[in-house]
Structure 1
Amino acid sequence: MQKLPPGKIKFRNLPKAEFKGRQRQNSKNISKDIKDDDNSTVVAPPITANFKLRLFTVWGVLIAAGIGLGINLYNLQIVRGPKLTQKARNQQMVNLRPYMPRRQVIDRNKNLLAVDRQVYTLHAHPKQFNKPRHQVASELAKILDQDASKLESRFAAQNSNILLNSALSEAVADRITGLRFDGLELRQRYARYYPTQELTSEVVGYVNLDRRGQAGVEYSQEKLLERATQAVRLSRAGNGALMPDYAPEGFPNFDDMGMQLTIDTRLQRAARSALKNQMKRYSAKRGAVIVMDAYDGSLLAMVTQPTYNPNEYSKADISLFRNWAVADLYEPGSTFKPLNVAIGLEAGIINPDDVFRDSGTIQVGDRTIKNSEDKRYGSINIAQILKFSSNIGMVQMMQRMRPSVYYGWLEKLGLGQGMETDLPFSVASQLKSQEEFITTPIEPATTSFGQGFSLTPLQLVQMTGALANGGKLVTPHVVKGLFDSKGQMHYTPTRPEARQIFSPITAQKVVEMMETVVSTKGTGKEAQINGYRIAGKTGTAQKANAGGGGYMANARITSFIGILPVESPRYVVLAIVDEPKGKDAYGGTVAAPIAKEVMEALITTEQLPPSQPR
């Protein structure tokens, strides 16, 4: 009989019954039968204790791994889930603060005064030129309006990063791109642009490279001109590219509102032209023109000369950024006399028909006061006092009023106080202390003809406006409001209510007296306009020393303030020229002709009909 290996049992040639019995006997120890080709059966080894240990170990490792995996998933999904989600979003998203252009500025006729536009900075890198330097310089010089030889010299002196222009328009940039020259780099950016250049610079102002207003309404109205900006989160692809399809709804989105001013550029142009010509003729230091609608205080024109181009503000004298018509004080001289007449009439110390004796001089304390050019006018009424600009008559008139009462009226007009306006850097006028004014007789005397105190040109216009509008002190302003592209108003500045200073009857009487100044024999005859009734007052004042104490020798400030039309007063025009040269440099000869030109332009722009014959 063949010997079998241990653990093998042979069932060959056994009776069927015996085979089944043994099969049942061995079934407890056999896990699986396998029949081979020769009908023999091989039985797996019995499960031992070591095998069970290994099995339990494997199952333990698997269960432990599953538990660890579950704990880790819980930690990732539940405990650290929010932080990891935020981290993933930060990697997939980017925070952008989109460029939001400042609001446009337009004039009363919707002419553009300031706008943000796309510009280009041009740099040259001569070492990268694919054409000869002289050829590049020649072609660029034609486009940039520069000297070709100077450009070539710059190219020879520096190999790279030569700044040629910092604010090229898109059209010019396109022409440079069309040259197809290597070594020319155009960098796109946005910049504030002022189409009218220096025409409205004293009103509009300018912004610096950081887009911050530095003068004019660009400075004082910064909050209204800047649109609100909010950071926007955009999705980006794996390569970092932004995916605009995932931009939030309505992005980019900003309002279409712009700021409208009360300024009329047509009138502004006429005023600047007249002022420049007269300043050149008299070699003057500086000048200003202001036109105000006395009904509501809106300024239709405000010009100072010299001025600057806000598109090239870096080339300008820094002193020009301050609008001196708002920020500098001066003694108004005789242009203040009509206001003193109004005070006298309103206080009841004079009547329109009162007559005064002008002998050419008057003694006040230890001081002697004279008329200009030592003139004497004899017996003159109040209208003639204004007509001939009599200092003596004014002193006598105001001597009828107690100094304390007079001082109260000056304060009521706003002297010694600040003035509300939407233009920046406005300063308060100056008036002597009440004690000094009351106890020193010379102070009320000099104040009667406009000296001994100081104010700004704009404040004089405001006060004279009270004569043109029935006695109300209004707020001079240039901002009309915020309007959208359809012309609908969304914001109007809140201004102080007009204060009633004089009665309408008093105001009208003074205006009619001022009309004599612009008559044939008046000091303001140069302001006459055929067919129109014009009221006015000239002024030729000494300039006070900057350090205080006395007046400058051979220095004067000439002015003319006008009101039109006399039959229905509404508009106030001030022309002022500082330090004109020449023996004939007076308010009537220097400033009145300027005012005339401006009023002629005003008549055209406002379509004022001729006055009816009296």
Structure 2
Amino acid sequence: MPKSSSRTKLKNFNFPKPSFKKRQQKGSRRESNNKLADSTQEQPPNIKFRLLIVWSFLIAAGFGLGVNLYNLQIIRGAKLTEKARNQQMVNLRPFIPRRPVVDRNKDLLAIDRPVYTLYAHPKLFEKSNNQMAELLSPILDQDADELEKKFDSKKSGITLTTALSEEIADRISSLHLNGLESIQKYSRLYPQQDLAAEVVGYVNLDRRGQAGVEYSQEKLLERSMNMVRLSRTGNGSLMPDYAPDGLFNSDDLRLQLTIDSRLQRVARFALKAQIQKYRAKRGAVIVMDAWDGSLLALVSQPTYNPNEYSKADISLFKNWTVADLYEPGSTFKPLNVAIGLEAGIIKPEDMFKDPGYIQVGDRTIRNAENKRYGRINIAQILQHSSNIGMVKIIQRMEPSVYYGWLERLGLRQSVDTDLPFTVSSQLKSQQEFLATPVEPATTSFGQGFSLTPLQLVQMLGALANGGKLVTPHIVQGLVDAKGQIHYSPNRPAPRQIFSYATTRKVVEMMETVVDDGTGKASQIPGYRIAGKTGTAEKASRAGGYIIGAKITSFVGILPVESPRYVVLALIDDPRGQNAYGSTVAAPVAKSVMEALITIEQIPPSKPMTQIPANQTPTSPR
């Protein structure tokens, strides 16, 4: 295309011209932009001051924060960390059940068990009060009407029972009843009830022993557990992951006693029957292994159920065989014979004249029922329980020497035993004892002094074990489930009082009491048994003796050929015309000895061999 042509077209093209109005708008924008630029360049001084204040505040705040952080983390860091740990940790002494108590055959006598306190909140019941009462009545063994009255009386917090067994609590829980609440705790259970209450004792609501070994062996029965610190969450819940190792594990040790529940049961049954028959005040039976002092049975009647101790007479909580004193009477005579033989003032073949009475100072002493026995030897003195013969034996000894022997036996002292509430025996001071000949005379037949039944058993045990005073005890030690002993108490070493020869002679003399004397009621066919009866007057607290009141007793030692066991039966204040040690106490001892023979499997005695002519007979027939 020719150039001239293109130019012509371009030249002829007409562009639109801007209108006047648009030119005015562009001019006004340009003017305003210029003004804004001028205003920025000319800022007032108060804006800068405000910025400076803001920046100063921010710098000061940051500096203060840094100082505070330094104070909290560096200066006070240790104290705050300790404070935080105290808030996050809790001191806790975990509850650990008391150790069980078992007899020598591992039969349970006391154990902790979980029980529940059951509360009712009637406002939360989904069923009517009547329906709830009907459901709970047979389970709780409570009257339905009484339960309904309780539910109607309050809307919440009604205590239904405080000792609900775990089995019953599970039955109630299985009903899925709203409005019932059970709280678990531990309670001491005595499965044998009153069988060994005088030995085991009981614990109170604070779980503290109040009688028996529950009291005297508190340290052995309580499992040791130190205070521990546990972490807890923000809402107070314990964090078991941080618990120390072995916190909730307890040992399986149990306190084993020396008593045999089988023998204990036989002794209680025989004693209870005799007390009822003679309308007696109370009674006791003690069986001791004289070789080591272990008590195989210790029964006192009346007794109580430790599961319901709050219903019992508080006087029963102290075992009177260790806590009450009495005058032993004729059961002490074998010990006086042993003293005479050991001191050398008498010989087994010595004869004495018994006219039925004797004058000592200003007193006239007589035999029981004013009986007279003529010429009798020492064995016959024991057979007939002659007071006159015993006075004449002791009169051969200087009173001061006799007093020394009584002290050696342990009079004026208490028995060192593991049973609580023991008291000291009573014997007049040496000055009072020597002031009048009546004191040694009355002591010769077991009156004028007092001791506990357990101390008498300890002394008579010296005749059975060759002359040693052993420590009567009820605690064997702590054993595990396999029967392995982990702890055994330390006891005093036996103390030699009499020679073996002396005790053998006295035991053989005591055998004649059972064979030919007042102890015939205790005879057991095929077994040689030594024994001594006693019927003592009861001393009055005001002085003198209570008219018509007496304590009957019998002590047996078996087997004679190898003496080991001592059995004492004691019945306080029996009623009736024919109430004596031979008629009341001896039959009880016989029942106990028969059970002892079976339990200990004591073989029948061998026939006595003929005594050579050149030897002194020790068992007149």
Name the TM-score, length of structure 1 as normaliser.
0.88
Q: Distance between the aligned counterparts of 1:141 and 1:360, measured in 2?
A: 72
Paired letter, 1:176: I
Match for residue 553 of structure 2? 559
Match for residue 244 of structure 1? 240
Q: Distance between the aligned counterparts of 1:471 and 1:119, measured in 2?
A: 51
How far off is 1:54 after superposition? 7.3
How far off is 1:258 after superposition? 1.3
Aligned 1:377-416 pairs, distance under 5 A: 377-416=373-412
Q: Distance between the aligned counterparts of 1:370 and 1:160, measured in 2?
A: 76
Q: Distance between the aligned counterparts of 2:50 and 2:169, measured in 1?
A: 81
Match for residue 209 of structure 2? 213
How far off is 1:174 after superposition? 2.2
Instruction: Select 1:581's aligned residue among 553, 575, 583.
Output: 575
Q: Distance between the aligned counterparts of 1:530 and 1:569, measured in 2?
A: 17
Q: Distance between the aligned counterparts of 1:444 and 1:341, measured in 2?
A: 14
**C-alpha deviations, 1:118-176, integer Å up to 9, x for none?**
01223456676665666655554533445556656666777765544322211122233
Aligned 1:162-177 pairs, distance under 5 A: 163-177=159-173
Instruction: Select 2:603's aligned residue among 599, 605, 609.
Output: 609
Q: Say if 1:145 and 1:284 are closer, same or farther in 2 by CA, change over 3 A.
A: farther
Determine whether 1:596 maps to 2:590. yes
Q: Distance between the aligned counterparts of 1:153 and 1:282, measured in 2?
A: 48
Q: Say if 1:472 and 1:181 are closer, same or farther in 2 by CA, change over 3 A.
A: same
Aligned length: 580
Paired letter, 2:600: E
Paired letter, 1:575: A
Match for residue 481 of structure 1? 477
SS of 1:95 mapped into structure 2: strand
Match for residue 535 of structure 1? 530
Q: Distance between the aligned counterparts of 1:88 and 1:268, measured in 2?
A: 59
Paired letter, 2:524: I
**C-alpha deviations, 1:477-499, integer Å up to 9, x for none?**
11111122232222111111110
How far off is 1:279 after superposition? 0.6
SS of 1:82 mapped into structure 2: helix
SS of 2:592 mapped into structure 1: helix
How far off is 1:317 after superposition? 0.5
Q: Distance between the aligned counterparts of 1:182 and 1:305, measured in 2?
A: 48
The RMSD of aligned alpha carbons is 2.8
Q: Say if 1:459 and 1:183 are closer, same or farther in 2 by CA, change over 3 A.
A: same
Q: Say if 1:376 and 1:142 are closer, same or farther in 2 by CA, change over 3 A.
A: farther
Q: Distance between the aligned counterparts of 2:483 and 2:161, measured in 1?
A: 37
How far off is 1:508 after superposition? 1.0
Q: Distance between the aligned counterparts of 2:525 and 2:52, measured in 1?
A: 121
Determine whether 1:461 maps to 2:457. yes
Match for residue 308 of structure 1? 304
Aligned 1:137-536 pairs, distance under 5 A: 140-146=136-142, 163-181=159-177, 184-519=180-515, 521-536=516-531
Q: Distance between the aligned counterparts of 1:590 and 1:317, measured in 2?
A: 26
Percent identity reads: 71
Q: Distance between the aligned counterparts of 2:89 and 2:278, measured in 1?
A: 67
Q: Distance between the aligned counterparts of 2:229 and 2:195, measured in 1?
A: 42
Q: Say if 1:213 and 1:55 are closer, same or farther in 2 by CA, change over 3 A.
A: same
SS of 1:336 mapped into structure 2: helix
Paired letter, 2:397: M
How far off is 1:282 after superposition? 0.6
Q: Say if 1:178 and 1:492 are closer, same or farther in 2 by CA, change over 3 A.
A: same
Match for residue 11 of structure 2? none
Paired letter, 2:394: M
Determine whether 1:118 maps to 2:137. no
Q: Distance between the aligned counterparts of 1:584 and 1:444, measured in 2?
A: 30
Once the two structures are overlaid, the 10-residue window that deviates more, 253-262 or 206-215, is 253-262
How far off is 1:254 after superposition? 2.5
Name the TM-score, length of structure 2 as normaliser.
0.87
Match for residue 85 of structure 2? 89
Q: Distance between the aligned counterparts of 1:575 and 1:221, measured in 2?
A: 27
Q: Distance between the aligned counterparts of 1:136 and 1:395, measured in 2?
A: 78
How far off is 1:585 after superposition? 0.6
Q: Distance between the aligned counterparts of 2:58 and 2:69, measured in 1?
A: 16
How far off is 1:230 after superposition? 2.2
Q: Distance between the aligned counterparts of 1:563 and 1:120, measured in 2?
A: 49
**C-alpha deviations, 1:410-443, integer Å up to 9, x for none?**
0000001122111000000000111111111111
How far off is 1:96 after superposition? 2.3
Note the residue ranges of structure 1 that are not aligned, 5 or more in a row: 9-40
Q: Distance between the aligned counterparts of 1:551 and 1:283, measured in 2?
A: 20
Determine whether 1:572 maps to 2:566. yes
Paired letter, 1:594: V
Match for residue 617 of structure 2? none
Q: Distance between the aligned counterparts of 1:297 and 1:314, measured in 2?
A: 33
Q: Distance between the aligned counterparts of 2:172 and 2:67, measured in 1?
A: 65
Q: Distance between the aligned counterparts of 2:144 and 2:350, measured in 1?
A: 75
Q: Say if 1:569 and 1:226 are closer, same or farther in 2 by CA, change over 3 A.
A: same
